[in-house]
Structure 1
Amino acid sequence: MGKWWPLFLSLLGVAQVGHAQQQPAQDQAALAKDCSNKVYQDSLVARYLDRGAHRVSYLSPQWAQYCDSLIAACPTIAYAYQQKAMPLIKCGDYAKAFPLIDQAVALDVNRWLAYRGFLKCIFTKDYAGALTDFRRVAQLKPQGREMDHTYAFFMGLCNLEMGKYKDAEADFAEDMRLQLGADGRGEIHFNTLLYAGVLALKKKQYPQAQTHLERCLKAYSQHPEANYYLALAYQAQGKPALARQHLAASQRALIGGYRLNEDNIYYANYPGQITEFEVIQAQKKLAD
């Protein structure tokens, strides 16, 4: 018995090594199967994003490394591609960012199509492309929102910037209708009123522009753009004193740090967004 015991142990060791060598292949097969499981996907997101990328700066190389690890573990998680693209978007590297966003849309169109339309509208100024995305997602989710706004809001911005004023007017009217709700008691976002006012100003409908912009200022009195464009509406109606008053208010707001109050204004300019330069130029024109 003593002679056979070492041989038995050596054979057992060989069997265990063989089992260990087979284990990675089995694990890989299990992981591939589990990748379609939502619970498993959530566990990967928690591991690589919640407890990984989101604990470092998005400017750190580690952010992309965590995203790459998540994609390697499960290449069908759309959120991984969007998160990898996010720092690139904020840094203006759209050429690298948009293929990742396109992949996110391909994997989860309901979640990321409107987001891509938003990026096209605000970041890259691809208004025609943004319109295409928002029209498509509006059919999928008629009551949907992106960045706290209806899809009609962004469609209105696109048409406004493209000079399609009749379409923009219809879009902003639909945006207001959706915000008011079926009972008509909802609140209209102050930036909807801002852009409706800008649109009326471009159409030289000055009293209507004044109405929209005054309503905007009731909701957000320090709004720099609303004060600025209201000043232009007053100036066009031959009311220089009121124009000067609102230009001064716009300048004070800008100096005080007030802005459009949209989350992404630090990374991209919204349509019609102003700086103190525009205010000073308008003041000089009034003084002439």
Structure 2
Amino acid sequence: MEKWWPLFLSLLAPACGHAQPASRPPAGDCASKAYQDTLVARYFDRGAHRISYLDPRWAQYCDSLIATCPNIAYAYQQKAMPLIKCGDYAQAMPLIDKAVALDANRYLAYRGFLKCIFTKDYTGAITDFQRVAKLKPNGREMDHTYAFFEGASELELGHDKLAEKAFATDMALQRGADGQGSVHFNTLWYAGVTAQRLKQYAQAQTYLQQCLKAYPQHPEANYYLALNYRFQGQAAPARQHLEAAQRALIGGYRLNEDNIFYANYPEQITEYEVTQALKELRN
């Protein structure tokens, strides 16, 4: 019975904690891309990626790869990922910094995304996206242009004119050289919020209505369009869109961004804000 006790303790290890690295395999040429690929296949394709990232063995696989070749940026990003999703940014971000130091071309925009959405380091996010734009002009991260995240960050910093400029760039890149490309509904929502902050109510209404044409149940677009109407003294359409936002949230509709399960996006709302706005409208 005693020989099962260490196994039992290992199963009780916290999912977001740390695990000891496994033994190191025979050394190879860590500068070789081919050797790096064999390690990634061994520790991730046939290892970590076959279990949950919440399993303590995930960190063991990462540590084993790092112990074998400490110059593979992907290992640090993968070790950081469960920590990010668990909210342990203090432990995660130094790992992401290491990944960026080893491969800025691949991970600089990813770090900027994390700063914008997870750690709320908006100034740092802008710096990262402006830097990576020089490495990879017109690149994208998490299905958005770099300008999208710059705009969201500028908006949160209260730099409304800079946000307006960033979202204009974002929309231009999405439309493309022929101007025929579609614009993501969340870009239209953010552009609407920015125009509203600048008291450009007609422009804000246009953006938010375009967002709702693409995604009628968008809670935030309905909410901010309601505010836009309220600012202009139009109570009836304001109430209509607040009620639409409330129904959408109750029905489970959200921004349709993958990472909203782990962090709130800038200007994202809850049912509480909608309820309060409805109360204020009745008074």
Normalising to structure 2: TM-score of the pair? 0.89
What residue identity is the alignment partner of 2:193? V
| Counterpart mapping for 1:178-197 below 5 A | 178-197=173-192
Instruction: Report the counterpart of residue 234 of structure 2 in structure 1.
Output: 239
Instruction: Report the counterpart of residue 128 of structure 1 in structure 2.
Output: 123
Q: Deviations over 1:248-270 (max 9, x none)?
A: 11111111111011111111111
1:60 and 2:55 matched:
yes
CA distance in 1, matches of 2:221, 2:228: 10
| Counterpart mapping for 1:131-150 below 5 A | 131-150=126-145
1:204 and 2:199 matched:
yes
CA distance in 1, matches of 2:203, 2:87: 37
Q: Deviations over 1:14-66 (max 9, x none)?
A: xxxxxxxxxxxxx53xx1x2x22222211211111121111111111101001
User: Which one of the candidate residues 233, 237, 257 is aligned to 1:262?
Assistant: 257
What residue identity is the alignment partner of 1:80? A
Out of 42-51 and 92-101, give the one that drifted further: 42-51
CA distance in 1, matches of 2:121, 2:247: 33
**What residue ranges of structure 1 are gaps of 5+ in the alignment?**
1-26
Instruction: Report the counterpart of residue 108 of structure 1 in structure 2.
Output: 103
Instruction: Report the counterpart of residue 11 of structure 1 in structure 2.
Output: none
User: Which one of the candidate residues 86, 90, 94 is aligned to 2:89?
Assistant: 94
What residue identity is the alignment partner of 2:88? D
**Partner SS, residue 265 of structure 1:** helix
Instruction: Report the counterpart of residue 248 of structure 2 in structure 1.
Output: 253
User: Which one of the candidate residues 59, 67, 72 is aligned to 2:67?
Assistant: 72
1:273 and 2:268 matched:
yes
**Structure 1: 4+ residue segments shifted above 4 A:** none
**Partner SS, residue 31 of structure 2:** coil
Instruction: Report the counterpart of residue 176 of structure 1 in structure 2.
Output: 171
Q: Deviations over 1:64-120 (max 9, x none)?
A: 001111111221111100000001111111111011001100110000000001111
What residue identity is the alignment partner of 1:276? E
- 1:236 Cα deviation (Å)? 1.2
- 1:237 Cα deviation (Å)? 1.5
CA distance in 1, matches of 2:233, 2:45: 57
1:166 and 2:161 matched:
yes
Larger Rg: 1
What residue identity is the alignment partner of 1:255? I
Identity of aligned residues (%): 74
| Counterpart mapping for 1:8-87 below 5 A | 27-28=26-27, 31=28, 33=29, 35-87=30-82
What residue identity is the alignment partner of 2:57? Q
CA distance in 1, matches of 2:258, 2:55: 22
- 1:128 Cα deviation (Å)? 0.8
Aligned length: 258
What residue identity is the alignment partner of 1:123? F
Instruction: Report the counterpart of residue 117 of structure 1 in structure 2.
Output: 112
What's the C-alpha RMSD, in Å, of the aligned pairs?
0.9
Quick check: which one's helix share is greater? 1
